[in-house]
Chain A
C-alpha cells in the first residue's frame, strides 16, 4: 500500500540551528501538508501546499518556517532558527485532490520527532 515517507524519524538539535525535515508524499497526490503535535497535545495545522505554492498557512507558520518541493517528489519543511518550543512531532500528509469522498483522505507519514535543546 502506498505510504508517505518521512525522514529523519528523530532529530536532536541545538537551539538556533536550522533543521530540514523531509517527506516523500504518495506519488499521485497533489496536495501536501505539514502538521505539528507537541507532546500530549492535539495535532495542529501548519501549512498546505498545492501546485508548487502555499495554499494556506497557520499563525504558527511564521517567517522561521518554509516549505519546498525541490524535485517533484520530496516535500521539505525548514525551520531556520529553532526554538525550544519547536520541539514536537512533525507530520507530513498528502491527498489526491480536493474531492470529498471516503477514498480521498489525508494520508499521514509516521512523523519526525524534533527535539530542540
Chain B
C-alpha cells in the first residue's frame, strides 16, 4: 500500500527566505510520480511541481525545487525567496504507475505562513 507522510502541520518563514517542506513516502512499486500542490485559503488545488521516480535530476519550476532522495524515500519541496502569497497549505502526493485509475494519494498537508 502506498502512503505519504508530511510531518510538519505548520511552518513559518520570513519573507525572502527559503523554506523546506518535508514529505516522505512509502511504496514497494519502482515506478511512481511525486507531486506537490498548493491550496491557498480560497480552496483551489494548484499544481506546483512533479518528480518521476526514474528522473535523474531534481525537478525545478521557478522558485520551487524538489529535493528528491530516492533511497530515503523523501521528496521535500524547497521554496526559495518566499513571498507573502506563498502562505497556503501544501500537499505532497504520489501516483503509482501500475495503478490503472491513476489516482493520487495525498499527505496530510503543511500549512505555510510567510511573515513580512
Do the beta carbons of B45 and A91 come within 8 Å of each other? Answer: yes
A106 and B47 in contact, given A55-B100, A100-B52, A100-B97 (Cβ under 8 angstroms): yes
Across the interface, which residues of A come within 8 angstroms of B105, CB to CB? 45
> What's the count of A-B pairs with C-beta under 8 Å?
68
Residue of B with least CB distance to A46: B103
Interface residue tally on A, bucketed by range: 20 to 34
Residue of A with least CB distance to B54: A100
Tally chain B residues at the interface, Cβ within 8 Å: 29
Do the beta carbons of B43 and A102 come within 8 Å of each other? Answer: no
User: B68 at the A/B interface (Cβ < 8 Å)?
Assistant: no
26 A-B pairs within 8 Å (CB atoms) are namely A33-B103, A42-B91, A42-B107, A43-B45, A43-B91, A43-B93, A44-B106, A45-B104, A45-B105, A48-B103, A55-B102, A56-B103, A91-B45, A98-B102, A100-B33, A100-B95, A101-B52, A102-B50, A105-B47, A107-B47, A108-B37, A110-B42, A110-B44, A111-B43, A111-B45, A113-B43
Binding site for A on B (CB under 8 A): 31, 33, 35, 37, 42-47, 49-50, 52, 59, 91, 93, 95, 97, 99-109
